[in-house]
Amino acid sequence: MRLSDLRDRSVAVWGSGREGVAAAAAIAPVGPADLVAVDDTLNFLALDWAQSRARDVPLITGDGCFDALMGAEVIVRSPGIGQTHPWIIEARRRGIEVTGGTALWMADHAGATVGVTGSKGKSTTTTLIHHLLGGVGRPAVLGGNIGTAPLDLPPAQQYVLELSCYQCADLADSPRVAALTALFPEHLDWHGGEEEYYRDKLNLVAHGPEHVVYNAADERLAARVTGRAAGLPDGFHVDGGQVRFRGEPLFARTVLGLVGIHNERNLCVALTVLDSLGVDCVAERDALAAAVSSYQPLPHRLTEIADPSGLTFVDDTLATSPYASMHAIDAYEGRALTVIVGGTDRGLDYTPLRDHLATRTLTVIGIPDSGARIVETLADLPGVRTEVAEDLVAAVRLARKLTPVGGAVLLSPAAPSYGRFRNFEHRSEVFLQAVRDTA
């Protein structure tokens, strides 16, 4: 479904955040028979509609929301509205078409788009692709889940989009190049289950992309996806301290200022995407090395904080699942390590984290709400010392006492931030302030 297909139809935009504003503002000029927006007051991302670009579109609130949605021929939902929401289920039962702003945009721009998704690494990989394209004289427009909503993007010859599982779920068109970084259980409440999550995530590649690029080291992806495998010796990979293409060295691994094997794999995915777009990465190796060297890491993803004590504090607050925390722990293998875990308790299974730490030596400090349950899951592991702290500040203070000089203190919560914090940025701010106050 394209934007133009909404002409003379009754449309309800569900959501009043940036995606809802972008959808309403883009749909209005098309000439729908009727267009309303339905408030999503429970979403902390909701904007002041009266001050937005879509203010001329009527905003339905309160008791009228359900009737406004059920009276539409098409519902354009914001990403936060889940597949399992009873109103979405009822709308589909009634035969109402449900789509999203990203799907509407992709229908018109798929041929000029690189789409990146994954349970971890999608933001880093997306921005790496965008940055490297600029480094070889192929500028692109960046957007999607990071930055600008697709329906707000300007005209361009090349787009690079980070796409969440929520955005992928509604796609009826795949981007020209679809890249996948990792796959593990996340957001199961939104999707309705683990397999449903995988289905929605992999919908990115379900509609005939020209190229599919995936991280070959991820077993779930390797079992579910066919395409160009990044990280293997017959393609882009890291070996002997060098980033290589089919065995030929391109530049030193140290050029990439990101820690962790998972970030090496993100780089290999990014380089494979460039190759799929026709960039001669061997001929451009010097330009690529310079671009990789100048790449600025994104905040809240293994961001190291200087400290006079000799400890390294690391902000990885965006690690909201046990699998993400496992990647972070691996990045500091070989160092004395204290990990702070805990946050909103979504009932996740932390057995995979226990299995991952079975032969490790480290300290784990749990904070509310799920921290106590996580450390209980890790109980009796021979090399894991577990503690519980009353809050994040107390955990930082305790970590200073327990971590040897030269070691690292890693905030990698394996849980979302809501409840105790406004959002992940707030959790990060509290962590940084605690590091400063306890120095």
Between CA 10 and CA 224 the distance in angstroms is 38
Residues of each annotated binding site for ATP: 118-124
How far is CA 288 from its chain centroid? 24
| Cβ-proximal residues to 274 (8 Å cutoff; 6+ apart), any chain | 129, 132, 133, 136, 281, 288
| 3-state secondary structure string across the chain | CCHHHHCCCEEEEECCCHHHHHHHHHHHHHCCCEEEEECCCCCCCCCCHHHCCCCCCCEECHHHHHHHHHCCCEEEECCCCCCCCHHHHHHHHCCCEEEEHHHHHHHHHHHHEEEEECCCCHHHHHHHHHHHHHHCCCCCEEEECCCCCHHHCCCCCCEEEECCHHHHCCCCCCCCEEEECCCCCCCHHHHCCHHHHHHHHHHHHCCCCCEEEEECCCHHHHHHCCCEEECCCCCEEEECCEEEECCEEEEEHHHCCCCCHHHHHHHHHHHHHHHHCCCCCCCCHHHHHHHHHHCCCCCCCCEEECCCCCCEEEECCCCCCHHHHHHHHHHCCCCCEEEEECCCCCCCCCHHHHHHCCCCCEEEEECCCCHHHHHHHCCCCCCEEEEECCCHHHHHHHHHHHCCCCCEEEECCCCCCECCECCHHHHHHHHHHHHHHCC
Residues of each annotated binding site: 118-124
User: Which of 215, 187, 213 has its CA nearest to residue 201?
Assistant: 187
How far is CA 401 from its chain centroid? 33
